[in-house]
Chains A and B, each alone.
Chain A
Amino acid sequence: MAEVTPMVDGRDVGGPPEWLASALDCQPVDVRGLLAEGTDPFSAIMEAAAGVEFGGFLVIDAPFNPSPLRRVLAGRGFSSYGRKLSEGHWRVFFHQDGGADWERGAEVEVTPEGAMTWREDDGIHIDVRKLTPPNPLLAIIRLVEGIAGNETVVVHHDREPQLLALELAERGWHIARIASEMVNIRLWLERMS
């Protein structure tokens, strides 16, 4: 990990939290294998998180930035810090500190609907998983309406949305591509040419 430039949600922002040094000694829980087999590791992670005492750490290796998990664990008092180690490999450090500082150092924005947005090389990403309908639709439309150029929007969803295509079409956008992975359905949204 040392040879990898520290990344926060996919961007080099520097300044990791002070507690990260202690967290680096923790053995990561790698859930990539479980996800590849089609098994939902949520219960196992929550069980592991329940055993972490105040001041303790939990480290998760995942194939993507597990934004909804970070939000769920923030609600249980965990701050988090994510590093993209390589393509398809994220390591997220959780620190049980009350969660007041859970977004520290993360270059993400949280929309009024509770979706997280951040930038990566392929466009603006928005994670709407676990939001109550119609908030995913609202967050995506709000983001799309705020984009002036031809930037791509990458949506992380927990299902194939049915209403989104209609609202996008009304605004001159469309779903260019869909990739379905376990608990992460990604949709690439682009302006119609």
Chain B
Amino acid sequence: MFPGSLMMGAKDRLLPPSLPYRFFIAAVLFHVAAWATLLTAGPGAVLGFVGGQGLVLAALHMITLGTLVMAAMGAAIQLLPVATRRPLGPQWAIRLMFWVYVPGVAVFVVGLGLALGWAQHLGATLAVVGMALFGWLVSANLRKVTDLPGVTRYSAMAVVSLALLAVLGLVLLVDFTKGFLPDHAAIAATHAALAGYGFMGMLALGFSTVLIPMFVLGSAVPDALVKRAALASGVALTLAVAGTAAGIGVVAALGAVLGLVAVGLHAHAMRGTIQSRMKKKFEPFFRLVWVALVMLPLSLLLAVALALGAPADPWSTLWGFLLIFGWLLTFVTALMQRIMPFLASMHSSSLGGKPALVSRLAPKLPVDIHLACHVAALALVAVAIIGGWAWPMWLGLFAGLAGSIAFGVFAFEVIRRYRSHMTAAAAANHEG
């Protein structure tokens, strides 16, 4: 009797758990591999990093392509259909995306680390095909959605950024061997801004308008406020990208300043949700969210300084670190920490019986260790970059590796507890 009421059933929206979890497992493995690779490269390589092939660039892409995008894919394929109440697309496309993208990223980062041109080109091509599939699946799902302006607007900007950053990434790769770009560093910075603020940043902000109200049991984010924040984000990104690519520092700085305004508008849009929340005590994953929300404006402030002429050594290295490790890695691991047990709980009643409680599926000690190590790594590496000191860098890299291993233990334990619950449910069914 009511428009839009004929919606797909709950079962149609739930994918087999192996589909999202294969992306999460890959993300966790790349997370560990990235810190291990940075340790292998050593403080000298990290401190002097201003781009170029090698282990540091490989580790950076293990985080961006391997952990951040992988986690976004895993979360999006399951949560988008739930949020939009529309099917995502054929499951074969999701499987194909995984089997093209994961080997592609693996080959690509090996190519970057060992300076193997053929591996870079092959891996990048496969990864771009995987990301194109992802962009297509997301776009198709959101095409007719009208009641989630937060998700649709931010996601649209994310998809456009994805296409642009993929093109620029391929151009940069070819430039490694052909050397035709007049300013490789400017295009690399544009590529990084599109990846960090454009693709992943927009996805993070868009998804937060759905996930945060759901996780804190807060009111829906007002459409008008989120539309305003999304508009400001889009204008900011356009200015920042255009200014960086063209080498016009004032325009890039203006974009970064507007980016700060957009972050403020987004926080303002979310404030009502947080204030009206029914879960008065924030869950543990929120500790990482707060850290990430400090890192995002810090990275933008640094971007303003760089655009206005601050020396690239050490500030561009610090900017990249705060953007990728400080803001995005922190935010994405926070959401994975909540989403992994949440999805497991959603699936846990599929055999009948009571669902496994999220609180029982999520072990606390590993996430506490991850939080402590991750925050220590952020502080130590940042200090090391600013001061040019090797010993805090060593400590920071070790802390990062320890944190990533703790996060891996958390992920393993969630899956183990889920499987254990399902085994017990199957046995109860058999007896019943």
Interface size on B, residues (CB 8 A): 33
* A48: Cβ under 8 A from any B Cβ: no
* B369: Cβ under 8 A from any A Cβ: no
Of the candidates A165, A166, A169, the one whose C-beta lies within 8 Å of that of B342 is A166
**Which residues of chain A are near B147, meaning CB under 8 Å?**
132
Assess whether A41 is in contact with B1, with CB atoms less than 8 Å apart.
yes
Assess whether B345 is in contact with A166, with CB atoms less than 8 Å apart.
yes
Assess whether B219 is in contact with A137, with CB atoms less than 8 Å apart.
no
- For the complex, would chain B's binding face be called helix, strand, loop or mixed by DSSP majority? loop
* B432: Cβ under 8 A from any A Cβ: no
* B224: Cβ under 8 A from any A Cβ: no
Interface size on A, residues (CB 8 A): 38
Task: Find the B residue at minimum CB distance from A192.
Answer: B354
A158 and B359 CA atoms in complex are apart in Å by 28
**Which residues of chain B are near A142, meaning CB under 8 Å?**
278
**Which residues of chain A are near B213, meaning CB under 8 Å?**
134
* A69: Cβ under 8 A from any B Cβ: yes
Assess whether A42 is in contact with B278, with CB atoms less than 8 Å apart.
no
Interface residues of A in 105-161 (CB under 8 A from B): 113, 129-130, 132-135, 137-138, 141-142, 145, 158-161
Interface residues of A in 150-191 (CB under 8 A from B): 158-163, 165-167, 169-170, 174, 182-183
* A101: Cβ under 8 A from any B Cβ: no
Binary interface profile of A, 27-56, with partner B (CB < 8 Å = 1, else 0)? 000010001000011100100000000000
Binary interface profile of B, 196-239, with partner A (CB < 8 Å = 1, else 0)? 00000000000000100110011110000000000000000000
**Which residues of chain B are near A161, meaning CB under 8 Å?**
10
* A24: Cβ under 8 A from any B Cβ: no
Tell me how far the C-beta of B43 lies from the nearest C-beta in chain A, rounded to whole angstroms.
Answer: 45
Closest 3 CB pairs of A and B: A160-B10, A158-B5, A183-B5
| Given A135-B220, A163-B82, 12 additional A-B pairs, CB 8 A | A72-B2, A130-B5, A135-B219, A162-B10, A162-B82, A162-B346, A163-B214, A166-B342, A166-B346, A169-B357, A182-B1, A183-B6
